[in-house]
Amino acid sequence: MRTLLLFSPFVIFLACSPIKSSEQEGEHQLELTLHEVQTNIDDFRHDLHCYQAEQKILEGKLQHQEALLQKLQTKEGDDKTKTHLLLRDLHQMGNNFKAENEKNQDFFEKIEKLLSHSQETDIALTQYKQKITELEKMILSQNRRFEEISSLKQTLQSLATALDVSLSENIYIVKPGDSLDRIAKNHRTSVAKLKEINDLKHDLIVVGQKLKLP
């Protein structure tokens, strides 16, 4: 459109100028036309300058957009790398968690076994305590019996001592020159009685022999 305006006055001037116009009017008309052409050229230069400025601005924006796009692409690549690393770390964390969970499961199973064993041990200890209590009761009862037996033994020993004294008083030891007849007379008994209580079949006695006296 600007190009048409640039050449349209000159064309109109050539088409519409009278052949018989004076030279001065022709020069004046030519100067006006040239001035108008110059003005149009200046306008065109101004528009071209503006267009070039706008083009530079657009080129700057385009370069900025390209730099931004490259940065975004680089960032996208970095993000992809980071995402890949993050996924790898998450996968590793999942494996670690799984392994730790298995370890914890084994640990919990061991704890349960220990608790079960502890319960069994507690039951066994309770039974042992009951048995120990019963044994202590039995020992106390036996001690009481031992004390009773000891007391009875002392009593029997006392009785035996007394009996031995009594028996020693009714036993005679044969001395040299003794005979059944002499012993019977000294202890106011008879030969037949001595033979009976000492289970003698004859009247023969020896020195040191013990004879029971009635």
Instruction: State the angle between helix axes of 23-169 and 2-16 in degrees (0 to 180), rounded to the nearest 10.
Output: 180
The stretch 23-31 carries a mean pLDDT of: 83
Q: What is the DSSP letter of 177?
A: T
* Tens digits of residue pLDDT in 137-150: 889 888 888 888 88
Q: pLDDT value at position 161?
A: 65
Please tell me the distance from the alpha carbon of residue 67 to that of residue 46, in angstroms, as a whole number: 31
pLDDT at 75 over 90: no
* pLDDT: which is higher, 118 or 57: 57
Q: Which of 10, 30, 11 is nearest to 22 (CA)?
A: 30
Looking at every residue in the chain, the average pLDDT score rounds to 80
| Domain 170-214 classification at class level | alpha beta
Q: pLDDT value at position 168?
A: 52
Q: pLDDT value at position 189?
A: 92
Give the H or E element holding residue 53.
helix 23-169
Measuring CA to CA, how many Å separate 160 from each of 11, 121, 169, 213? 178, 55, 14, 19
Q: pLDDT value at position 163?
A: 61
* End-to-end CA gap in the chain: 181
